[in-house]
Chains A and B, each alone.
Chain A
């Protein structure tokens, strides 16, 4: 009735029928599409359930690395030489900070952040791929800085103060060249390290023992499976695998001896090495000047670093890398070779007028350090005790370079000492082949003559000098040098056995070896002519040694001398090698003091102090 005038009843029937038909089609359409949704969702939730479950777990679960504690370094008596100290650092999570520049700028109002810190921080932010990793901005915060940040903490989401264990070297400069140091991992190291094991580690051994024993000191990373939200906030710890701390190192080094050696050498440029002749263990290793290794741990500032680049070269490890002409210190070795090779007999003697003339080139003269010579009847004994050059010019010429070169290598010259430090250089034991190969010139006989007094091409490191002294002390048995005597973890302590050096001195029946050992004893104890007699005056033990005084001709490694220092830098290097006690030696030493003058008066007294200290300590120990 209300349905409009134009609409007929017939149309209404037709319309309703049509409408219901369309509605039915629609209903089937709706049902079909709902079924499609259900099938589609079931396909996600049933068929691909495992895949999505895993992806959901990957979202929420993160494996956080836990850094292992770095192994400690002790001296032979268990005194801590390198420890880990808790240090506060301010760290940022880039993902949780909206405006990094602004955050850093605001932080620097609270805490002084210098340009070096900023630069390093932004570099690391750029480099880091791992999400939600805390990146240190400033390390070694003071208590006051920590407090100041704590008050303002709410202003800095994503910024936190973290306490981290950081290497500390309590003896600083004194052990710098003996231990080396750790520093922040740099780009180059990042490529070579085991990335997985170092995920939580910020520092790595850069030089010295810290570098050589890096894998042992570092330990094994631990992991923590945690549940996090999308912001990386940790909500729950699911499980944890503890890290395995690095092993501790027990050095052969004796801190007391090291301190004495350092004190004796302090203020001069040079090196003191003390060895256990029966093991090759390094009892003391000093190179001066040193530096404070703690500066390098959290990153040295440019200013501090520039200070270390001075002409005294404090970063240069003279003990391992300083190459010096051995000078007269090798006279006992050559004398022994002369006797053993029967080039001379024990009674062979010369008349020394202060000059040596080669038989073939009579116009070439080689002067003795003593202007008028050492007088008549100079046999090998007096030649060692008084350090007569002429005798050794003659002897070297008679033996020839080939024999000298071969045998001196057996004493370790020109050879690596294989010390567990990694940075040593082999020095140079010249030979005919070497000269032809490297210099493309034949060997001249005159060069053999000056080899007789440890000059010319011959270069040795303080380590090699000490090693050769130890070889004489132990009747020709020579060991590879070692800093580390034992490695200890929670469960066990492994002692490292001495390793014989590859080349050994064949002392035959030992008669000639005894002869030169006796001559070296006279060097220290002959009251009238021993070159080290004043240094060893009043010693309550017998010892053996040999002095060396090496003239410099303005060549060698020190070419960067400034003009005003020239005079000083051209003074002789003072050298000394020795061992004690004379019977059953327990210590062998080498001393090198650059530009100090005569070895007897400048190097030998340092050796005396070192030996006194060590023997006294042994006495106490008994």
Chain B
């Protein structure tokens, strides 16, 4: 497997250094402990938002640090949660006196390390709330598993909660809107190829040339079922069916449709997915009034995509439209 890297041990440090250099108008990076923070942090009187998790999902989370979204992002090693120390340091760096919200994807390692960090930050007198995202409908039996995973919906939670913090909402309000977005978004993904963790050097699972994996997470972990490759429209039908089954949508509902690439699928294919997803939703009387199409929460070089559908209300729509200035999302400013 060919990769454009130096020593596999330095992948994250070197990538963050490049990211900070490229976007020095928006962020600065602390190298030890490692985190990415808004250049203007802490913003006095406003809630700071920290997210993080294993690296390999870029632009998540560092690409979402900036005005109107995250205060800081804490990248762990590839596909491995960061430890509590850098999470605590990032929490302190964004605390402008109004408290800090942690947005955590529901993966066991992320949850355990962020929990520990929140305890430590609270012991230092910082008010911390945590919202755990779990929008992945691929996990059917969440009672007997570690629960639904936090995947594509996390991007939407970070944008909308970030806008609420930027307009000056209090900590409890920012946490409440983050919970509301998480409760109203559902996601399902597909992999066409596995991905290769740099220090492992081998694919995390194998797929035949004509096989795809339905219901993947964002770490190359196997999903719900393995089937033969089908045309894009049939795959979109398979991804949307469990989303619509899981979450009754009423006719006339306005939604945000997010078609996300897993890193190795070109935009030309993502737009084919988007086109058919809009059609399927329209047949159910669901109107796509906002959208996001592109590679925003990836799994290294994996080919594949996820579809997220968020039921919008007026406030969420207004916060989605609010100005944002980050490396990966930028509008209105």
Instruction: Decide whether A and B assemble into one complex.
Output: no
